[in-house]
Structure 1
Amino acid sequence: MAPSTIKQWTVEGQNGFESLKLNEKAPLPELGDRDVLVKFHAASLNFRDLIIPKGQYPFPVKDNIIPGSDGAGTVEAVGSRVTRFKTGDKVVTLFSQGHLAGSLDHASLGTGLGGVVDGTLREYGSFDEQGLVHAPSNLSFGESATLSCAALTAWNALYGLETRAIKPGQTVLTQGTGGVSIFAVQFAKAAGARVIATTSSADKAEVLKKYGADHVINYKETPNWGEQAKSLTPGGRGVEHVVEVGGPTTMAQSLKAVAIDGVISIIGFIGGFSKDQPTFLDCLNNICTVRGLLVGSRLQLEDMIRAIEQNDIHPVVDSKTFTLTELKDAYQYMWDQKHFGKLVIKIGEQ
């Protein structure tokens, strides 16, 4: 039986991580006719979670929001009109609760968990049945809790443009060792593609190779890594997919690496901002497609989970985990870039 009160975090203000407030006796969420009550066992953090309390997130955010988009748990109860789930099912949250299929639109943009809709950094949550999917059968709760944002974003980057979806023999360029980048390495290799990755250290390079990268470029030692990546492709034709996470500070090199008619998917801006950056004309000069994307749809999430099960893909999870009450420490640990892969928050039994 679910308790009458639960532990949950809220973001109150934009004063950095001090805006995170823990309520240890919040009321249990109410259950509507089409809702599913989820008992969370794990959640994971994204860069987005860190910048929301700092007031740097460019998309809608509700006051006093319960943070967190990524979560995995078991179904505790279902509403009278729920048909997709039953008590005891293992589930994963969908990032944009209203983005079921097709392109993101204005309405579904306003349904992001942990931004506009209360999220996963709590012991229990109530969600419309359309905003959940069945968890992969081959993953633990901690692993499943990493899929909602980073994994689906990487999947969308490689498969989101159906006419340009990744094909065997193509080359993918990834940047760094964050969650999206490592998932992109794993998904690209499962698709039969070659992977060129960038990183800043020899140790990280070895780990990237372990997870499938064919070539790793140290961007500190090779500032002009875009041309280097292009030279590593068959015939020097360039890479067909660039998973661009750095933003303005890395875009010029991504354009140097991309193949004719290649796709650069802009995921984020972890490299910060710079006035010295390419213009729209560079897209024409390089004859490529540059697209921005925000995670993905439930249909894509379900496709991705089938691929994870069929290829027995396991997310790369940082060796250090935090409990729900240690959330501020987890935010700081990730902000200081001490993590490798996804950072998991333990909430309930694993």
Structure 2
Amino acid sequence: MRSYHLSHSGAGLAGLTVRTHDAPVPGPGQALVAVRATSLSHRELLVLEGSYVLPVKPDVVPVSDGAGEVVALGPGVEGPAVGDRVMATLFGVEHLAQRGGSLDGMLTELAVVDADSLVPVPAHLSYEEAATLPCVAVTAWNALTGDAAGVRPGDTVVVQGSGGVSLFALGFAKALGARVIATTGGPGKAVRLRGLGADEVIDYRATPDWAAEVRRLTSGRGADRVVDVAGILHDSVRAVALAGTIACVGFVGRTAEPLDPRALFASGATVRAVAVGSRAQFTAMNEVIAEHGLRPVIDRVFPFEDAPGAYAYYAGGTSFGKVVIQGAGSPAGIG
């Protein structure tokens, strides 16, 4: 079997190599999964450049997100069966153990995974689609539903840009009955966001003060919830309604203005840091995906042999939706 390895966090693409190994054998409580597809998220770029916030072991098999088929079980496994189509949660059963970081990830032909970490693939999804769910989809679901208030029908939700979390948040928010205002950086992406169900789209290049535009579109009230993926809390506070919620998911913008504590206090908003979610949230999300027939947005699929090309393409920042790496020898489009 073949696996990709990253020599160390911060090694960049030059540190990504493929090796051949003997097939692993699952131990007690473990399952052996033939990985049919993996997907990239911003997390993988952070690991590659050495700025990921959690530990990354040397020589790690990278990539947290993957889907595949159970091909063998270790002793004492209850639940998954050989032949099941499954995804692995990003976090393992131990506290803060994460795939593609302190644990080996999914960019491999065969992965040994704790059986308790496996979640069934929704029946209507292909392996390529399912591989997009464990990190950004669960994060988006948590951002919308993981607090006491949650998104309710009639709420207004703001999503930022067209990255994975934002596109999933758009689809989930619409399924939950919310009105969605999306921000983006150009007319082409604005058209695609409307096609995915966004009720309003703000081009922040044409309208730099997008927070004021959110207020205008909500008759001065502001949004009930802002899913902030860019770390622009200063503007998100201006866009959120009194006592609304800001789900702080990331900081891809990296040029954020300082957050004025007086503005935050005046808003009465709750700012909640969101880092993926639990297995229970993953399962609840999958129920909604199945009920509404939701499908992830995939920009491009690369072969296993060109995983470095997938990384380079994703890092270029031009993708709309997820970048997927197909498993070696994997049949396409199973669903």
- Shorter-normalised TM-score: what interval? over 0.9
Report what 1:290 is aligned to: 271
2:186 to 201, 220, 227: 201
Q: Which moved more, 1:149-158 or 1:282-291?
A: 282-291
Whole-angstrom distance in 1 between the partners of 2:248 and 2:157 = 14
1:310 to 288, 291, 297: 291
Is 2:165 aligned against 1:165? no
Is 2:257 aligned against 1:271? no
Whole-angstrom distance in 1 between the partners of 2:286 and 2:124 = 10
- 1:20 is displaced (CA, Å) by 1.0
Report what 2:77 is aligned to: 82
In the alignment, structure 2 segments of 5+ residues that lack a partner are: none
- 1:97 is displaced (CA, Å) by 1.6
- 1:338 is displaced (CA, Å) by 2.2
- 1:332 is displaced (CA, Å) by 0.9
Q: Structure 1 vs Structure 2: percent identity of aligned residues? A: 40
Whole-angstrom distance in 1 between the partners of 2:68 and 2:262 = 47
In the alignment, structure 1 segments of 5+ residues that lack a partner are: 1-5, 99-106
What does 1:215-234 align with in structure 2 at a 5 Å threshold? 215-233=200-218
Amino acid in the other structure paired with 1:251: L
Whole-angstrom distance in 1 between the partners of 2:270 and 2:74 = 44
- 1:280 is displaced (CA, Å) by 3.7
Report what 2:138 is aligned to: 152
Whole-angstrom distance in 2 between the partners of 1:96 and 1:279 = 33
Whole-angstrom distance in 1 between the partners of 2:272 and 2:261 = 12
1:53 to 48, 52, 74: 48
Whole-angstrom distance in 2 between the partners of 1:333 and 1:15 = 18
Report what 2:317 is aligned to: 337
- With structure 1 as the length reference, what TM-score do the two structures score? 0.92
Report what 1:237 is aligned to: 221
- With structure 2 as the length reference, what TM-score do the two structures score? 0.96
Is 2:165 aligned against 1:184? no
Whole-angstrom distance in 1 between the partners of 2:212 and 2:23 = 55
Whole-angstrom distance in 2 between the partners of 1:86 and 1:155 = 27
Whole-angstrom distance in 2 between the partners of 1:93 and 1:125 = 10
Which string of whole-angstrom CA distances, capped at 9 and with x for unpartnered residues, describes residues 43-98 of structure 1? 10001101212111112211111111111111101112111111100001101122
SS of equivalent residue, structure 2 residue 95: helix
Is 2:303 aligned against 1:323? yes
- 1:214 is displaced (CA, Å) by 0.3
Count of residues in Structure 1 that have an aligned counterpart in Structure 2: 329
Whole-angstrom distance in 2 between the partners of 1:332 and 1:280 = 38
Whole-angstrom distance in 2 between the partners of 1:325 and 1:280 = 49
Which string of whole-angstrom CA distances, capped at 9 and with x for unpartnered residues, describes residues 198-245 of structure 1? 001111001100111000000111111011112212x42111111101
Amino acid in the other structure paired with 1:74: E
